Amino acid sequence: MRRRKLRKYVLPSLLVMAIVSVVSITGIINNLKGNDLSENITYVSKTILGNDIAVINTTSKIINPYTDQSVKIGKNYYDYQAEAKDQENSIIYHDDTYMQNSGIDYVSENTFEVVSVLNGTVTDIKEDELLGKIIEIKHDNDYISIYQSLSEVLVKKGDTVNQGQVIGKSGTNELDKEVGNHLHFEFYTNGQVVNPNLYLNKELKKQETKE
């Protein structure tokens, strides 16, 4: 079998092409090294959410208006749907008149500290001949708590109070004289008095916006 031979002028041509290829590749590599690739990268400087406001779900629990474990319920809120016996125990009798109890009477043999059930602002303090010393506190979400039959008031109108802060002490009044030492507690939502038992020690979820 005869061996194929390349013509003489073919060899120089191949050599030139090889040199050109090497030079071209080297130039490309050097060009890449000379350029800062990071300059060609576009960075994201804005958030995807744009001007959206983040929403945080928080949970609050309305606590009892006292901390003394000896405190008991002496007279409950008058519930129209309750059994007749429970309704009878929620009636106030004064000056030959029967009245439905609009709150809860917490009783104890000894004077006990009264605390705010939520964070809020003291909107009113007064003393009534029948109801005794009274504190009214306004809270978020249109909640209002009222504390009656106090012997001492430890806050003043306009004060900002924290949940659990002592605001006064239990006492007596003329309307519920037979109950003895107690706190009469009322709770309002959207301007309407409600059964405190439906709210006390219950989780209340609300939404707060984060600026």
128 or 12, higher pLDDT: 128
The pLDDT mean for the chain works out to 79
What is the rounded (10 degree) CA torsion for 45, 50, 55, 56?
Answer: 0
Pick left, alpha or beta for residue 47 (phi over 0 → left; psi -120 to 50 → alpha; otherwise beta): beta
pLDDT digits (tens, 9 = 90+) for 20-61: 454 455 554 455 455 554 455 554 444 444 454 444 445 579
Q: What's the average model confidence in pLDDT over 159-173?
A: 97
Contact 149, 171 (CB under 8 A): yes
In angstroms, the CA 95 to CA 98 distance is 8
What's the confidence (pLDDT) of residue 83? 85
What's the confidence (pLDDT) of residue 203? 83
The number of beta carbons lying within 10 Å of the beta carbon of residue 170 is 27
Residue 135, SS3 per DSSP: strand
Pick left, alpha or beta for residue 115 (phi over 0 → left; psi -120 to 50 → alpha; otherwise beta): beta
Q: Over 60: is that where the pLDDT of 186 sits? A: yes
What's the confidence (pLDDT) of residue 86? 84
Contact 42, 180 (CB under 8 A): no
Q: By 3-state DSSP, what share of the chain in percent is helix, strand and coil, each rounded to 5?
A: 20, 40, 40
What's the confidence (pLDDT) of residue 158? 97
pLDDT digits (tens, 9 = 90+) for 5-19: 444 444 454 444 544
pLDDT band at 85 (very low <50, low <70, confident <90, very high): confident
Q: What's the average model confidence in pLDDT over 123-133?
A: 95
Q: What's the average model confidence in pLDDT over 139-164?
A: 97
> How much of the chain exceeds pLDDT 70, in percent?
69
In angstroms, the CA 157 to CA 137 distance is 9
